[in-house]
Amino acid sequence: MKTALKWIGILVCVVIVGIVGVMAYVKLGLPNVGDAPALKVEKTPERVERGKYLANHVAVCIDCHSTRDFTLFSGPLVPETHGKGGELFDQKAGFPGSFTAKNITPFGIGNWTDGEIYRAITTGVSRDGHAFFPVMPYPYYGKMNDEDVQSIIAYLRTLKPIDNKPAESKADFPFNFILNTIPKKAEPMPLPDPTDELATGKYLVTIAGCIECHTQVENGQIIKEKAYAGGRDFNLPSGTLYTPNITPDKETGIGKWTKELFVSRFKAYADSSYKPHKIGPTDFQTLMPWMMYSGMKEQDLGAIYTYLMTLQPVQNKVAKKFKPIVAMR
């Protein structure tokens, strides 16, 4: 009996040591994406212009790193807050911790090297080596072509410095360990030939991370069989949003949409006379930053439509688009 208990005790100790060892490796040895590259970005006018376009209208970095006014439809940016950071993604919104968007103006990252910014964008690893929460869709930014990443870096260097020090992010247990396993080395895609509409659409949909919002998740992972089929829920200040199906399913998706209709849906918010309306207690609200995406070129929007029409149609009727908080009481 004593011998059996002795071996059980040894086994328990081995298991404990093994668990502690794995936890120590995850916490101290990860993320492992390599050092920031020795990169010096030449700030040409062409790069700054391309970076401005990508950061504001495709990858929409500026959207999360500014202040959004969700008392108005689609949460437009508050003037003079571009890049200041401070937007909070916490437990109330369904996140496993409290995560705050960083200040990406020169006040916040002015002393970062170009290589450190490059690594942060493409792998989700900060200059001090810690992992960012993937509400910043770096798994998709990591597929962005190097030239486009450098263009965004060049543009960020031109932002007006805003004195703002956002709170530090903190992940809840056990996600504070899991978080370190998410960053991976970048796998940049080639820049598509502008005349290749399908390849251009695929590239833009990928780096914009459309799949992330338009796909349901299970245990924190998107359900691949339901890619782009909508139904993912997001908690907003005024209620819960359910994203639409953007597969070419003719009954529950956008299969009956024409290219012209698709493009016009975005461009409806590009008119300088458009002013987002005030949101009432029971009004529909969306996370989709329509005013930012409306600045996308019609050619690029057309390419996105062309690519979406090649996806596997998935029948998934999103019966309810939005559930106001007042309706939940």
Same domain as 278, residue 168: no
Residue 27 to residue 131: CA distance in whole angstroms: 10
Residue tagged 């998709």 (tokens): 140
Final residue in a domain of this structure, among 191, 215, 230: 191
Residue 255 to residue 239: CA distance in whole angstroms: 28
Q: Could you tell me the end-to-end alpha-carbon distance of the chain, in angstroms, rounded to an integer?
A: 60
Which DSSP string do the residues of 93-107 spell out, in sequence order?
GT-SEEEE----SHH
Domain range for 122 is: 41-191
Residue 186 included in any domain: yes
Residue 150 included in any domain: yes
**Whole-Å CA distances, 16 to 3, 19, 25, 128, 179:** 20, 5, 14, 30, 22
DSSP-derived 3-state class of residue 35: coil
Contact criterion met (CB below 8 Å) for 324 and 282: yes
Same domain as 54, residue 179: yes
Final residue in a domain of this structure, among 167, 191, 215: 191
- Report the predicted TM-score, pTM, of the whole model to 2 decimal places: 0.92
Same domain as 117, residue 223: no
Same domain as 182, residue 233: no
Residue 31 included in any domain: no
In degrees and rounded to multiples of 5, residue 142 shows phi and psi of -65, -15
Residue 28 included in any domain: no
Residue 138 to residue 136: CA distance in whole angstroms: 6
Same domain as 113, residue 178: yes
The one-character DSSP state at 134 is T
325: nearest Cα among 232, 243, 240, 241: 240
Residue 27 included in any domain: no
Same domain as 318, residue 279: yes
Contact criterion met (CB below 8 Å) for 2 and 8: no
In degrees and rounded to multiples of 5, residue 162 shows phi and psi of -120, 125
Residue 32 included in any domain: no
Which DSSP string do the residues of 147-183 spell out, in sequence order?
HHHHHHHHHHTTSPP----PPPPEEPTTHHHHGGGS-
Chain-centre distance for alpha carbon 244: 17
Same domain as 174, residue 108: yes
pLDDT in tens, the chain (329 residues): 556 555 555 555 555 545 444 444 444 454 889 999 999 999 999 999 999 999 999 999 999 999 999 999 999 999 999 999 999 999 999 899 999 999 999 999 999 999 999 999 999 999 999 999 999 999 999 999 999 999 999 999 999 999 999 999 999 999 999 999 999 999 999 999 999 999 999 999 999 999 999 999 998 899 999 999 999 999 999 999 999 999 999 999 999 999 999 999 999 999 888 999 999 999 999 999 999 999 999 999 999 999 999 999 999 999 889 999 875 55
Same domain as 213, residue 177: no
The structural domain count of the chain equals: 2
Residue 24 included in any domain: no
Final residue in a domain of this structure, among 142, 159, 191: 191
Same domain as 183, residue 128: yes
What does the CA dihedral 225, 286, 56, 220 come to, rounded to 10 degrees? Answer: -40
Same domain as 141, residue 50: yes
Same domain as 219, residue 185: no
Same domain as 180, residue 318: no
Residue 21 to residue 162: CA distance in whole angstroms: 43
Residue tagged 């200059």 (tokens): 127
Which DSSP string do the residues of 51-117 spell out, in sequence order?
HHHIIIIIS-HHHHTS-B-TTBTT-PBPTT-TT----EE-GGGT-SEEEE----SHHHHTTS-HHHH
Residue 7 included in any domain: no
